[in-house]
Amino acid sequence: VPGLVQTIILTRISGRTQVPPAEELASLAAHQASLCLYLSARHIQAAEAKLLQHYPAETPVAVCFRIGWPDEKIWVVPLDQMAAVTEREKLIRTTMYLISPALRGVDGQGETVEARSRLYNPEHSHLFRPQE
């Protein structure tokens, strides 16, 4: 999203299998990029604490359970509620978290309520849509 975030990081928190020190969750969170977190539901309290060191508590998080399956569910909550939702809904496996300021245009059901990218804006000209 122009002027807001341009980078996506895909990672997980250290668990039984350690991540390299340079890829520690807190150090990646320091970039405040959009961050996709997988294989981390069992360690969600620790993940939330590490993320809160660098992201504001109100940063939107999409808690995505069983994406692409008929029973998929998505909750969009503030970062400081990520662990609580995970525990309340008993999410353990097949859960991915998307932490991103770009989600501010998404409601609690995962539906877009505001388009923020200019790429598809009819007033934005480019190679395939020249200005008239």
More confidently predicted of 107 and 118: 118
DSSP single-letter state for residue 118: S
Query: In 3-state terms, what secondary structure has residue 15?
Result: coil
pLDDT tens digits, one per residue of 36-76? 999 999 999 999 999 999 999 999 999 999 999 999 999 99
d(CA 49, CA 98): 15
d(Cα 44, Cα 99) in Å, to the nearest integer? 13
Whole-angstrom Cα Rg for the chain: 16
Domain ranges of the chain: 8-105
Q: Return the SS3 of 67.
A: coil
CA distance 107 to 113: 6
Percent of the chain exceeding pLDDT 70 equals 87
- pTM of the prediction? 0.81
Enter the DSSP assignment of 19. Answer: P
| pLDDT 10s digits, 10-34 | 999 998 899 999 999 999 999 999 9
Domain 8-105 classified CATH 3.30.950.10?
yes
DSSP character at residue 77 = E
pLDDT at 115: 47
Give 106's DSSP letter. Answer: B
Q: What is residue 124's predicted lDDT score, i.e. its pLDDT? A: 77
pLDDT, averaged across the chain: 88
